[in-house]
Amino acid sequence: QQDLRAFLNDASLPYEKLLEMWNATKEYIPDEYIRELHGLADGAGVEFEKVAAAYTAVMTWDLGCFGISAWGNATKDGKLYHFRSFDLGMNIQDPVTGRYAHDNSVLIVRKPKDGYSSISPSVAGSLSGGGGFNERGIAVGIHTCWSNDQTVHGIPAMIRIQMVLDHASSAEEAINYLTTNSTLGWSFIVSDANAPAGYAVEVTANLSYVGTYNNPVESTPPFWAIDHVVRRTNFFISPELAATQRMHYDPSGLAGLLRVFTDGEPYFVIWNSYRAMSNLLEKNLGNMELNNSMEMFKKGYRGDTDIILKILIKLAEGTSFNRAWNMWVSCPETGDIVVSFAERDRIAFDTPTHYFNLYRLLNEEPP
């Protein structure tokens, strides 16, 4: 109840508008997820329409987030590692108790009757935290990518994430779920530990792009490719999709900085997170594994390796920029995941690290 109230309290649209959007999108949502949301409402002891409105509110959030997939020559042992940071403002709060939503962190382990088992760091009241991995070695993570090409007549991205975790056994199947019946602007990182390979996926209501590290799109200046690594945050790299998001393709340099003040564009700030993390990935190329990757991820996301990013993180107080509710690195092949959760006034890059294994958790009794 606390988080559902917090989600609604933070919504940027009136309650009636959220229900109007829900009524438009619900026709596209598979029945299994409608039933699950009803179960969530029953378990929380709240009206279903409040759950529906809260989930619609999530569609309007600025999910900062960052995703990476590294494999082959990029990692120490050749295994695939999937990284995710789930970013939202640290001030989303239950108006009744005053408790912050990120204080209700959970690790969701799903074992559906008609689907694959999966694990997802999240918060109470959510089906998933916008990402995770399943027992078939498929990992996924989502990031907001604002776009003018949007609709509510489709499957909300958070539901499509759950469809991937529940039903995808290959990257091809995962990508099909993410690019079908699309609604708003989003990007995703999809990892297939069996190949192994990672893919960047970008979508709007009517457009999509899918590519791995050696797709020419990944090297469109000022962006650049990294051998056996794909990464995404809150801007499109495909020029076709970027045209639905921003007037100026290149977010870098003095011109990008000036547009922060003249046009209110956030892309120069986001670019510096992409740039700093990319530089750090290149420095660690060929040496990444589970433990050191998590420490590298935290260090980079905190701005410890880039003074410009450090300053921007400080200046972005009160926004979702690099405000990680959780950060994790997983090896879907082995089922291992290392995760940190935000606490009241501490971002996840400053909190303790915890280790879990999906397959061991599946053999334990639920709490």
CA atoms within 13 A on the CB side of 195: 21
User: How many angstroms from the chain centroid is the CA of residue 310?
Assistant: 22
Q: What is the pLDDT of residue 318?
A: 84
**Three-class SS of residue 246?**
coil
Q: Is the pLDDT of residue 62 over 80?
A: no
Query: Cβ neighbours of residue 245 under 8 Å, at least 6 residues apart?
Result: 145, 146, 147, 148, 185, 235, 236
The CA radius of gyration of the chain, in Å to the nearest whole number, is 19
pLDDT band at 32 (very low <50, low <70, confident <90, very high): very high
Question: In this structure, is the dihedral angle defined by the CA atoms of residues 98, 343, 158 and 202, taken in order, positive or negative?
Answer: positive
Alpha-carbon span 328 to 336, nearest angstrom: 10
Tell me the per-residue pLDDT of 115-149, one tens digit each, with 9 for 90 and over: 999 999 999 988 777 999 999 999 999 999 999 99
Mean pLDDT of 318-345: 95
Pairing, β 208-211 against β 131-134: unpaired
CA distance 127 to 94: 19
Query: pLDDT tens, 220-249?
Result: 999 999 999 999 999 999 999 999 999 999
Write down the pLDDT at residue 163: 98
So what's the pLDDT on residue 63? Answer: 72
Give dist(CA 175, CA 186) in Å, integer. Answer: 13
- Categorize the per-residue pLDDT at 180 as very low, low, confident or very high, splitting at 50, 70 and 90: very high
pLDDT at residue 61 is higher than 80: no
pLDDT value at 72 more than 80? yes
Q: What does the block give as tokens for 326?
A: 């959780």
Provide the sign of the torsion angle of the four alpha carbons 68, 71, 76, 81, taken in this order: positive
Segment 23-51 shows an average pLDDT of 94
Q: Tell me 115's DSSP state.
A: S
Q: Give mean pLDDT, residues 256-283.
A: 97
- Catalogue the E-assigned strands of the chain: 66-70, 81-87, 105-110, 118-123, 131-134, 138-144, 186-192, 197-203, 208-211, 229-232, 324-331, 336-341, 354-357
Q: What is the pLDDT of residue 269?
A: 97
Q: What is the pTM of this model?
A: 0.96
To the nearest 5 percent, what fractions of the chain are helix, strand and coil? Answer: 40, 20, 40
pLDDT number for residue 12: 85
Q: Which residue has the tokens 């993570």?
A: 141
Label residue 161 by pLDDT band (50, 70, 90). Answer: very high
Is 61-362 a domain of CATH 3.60.60.10? yes
Of 357 and 3, which is predicted with more confidence? 357
Of 229, 200, 195, 189, nearest to 333 by C-alpha is 195
Q: Is the pLDDT of residue 367 over 90?
A: no
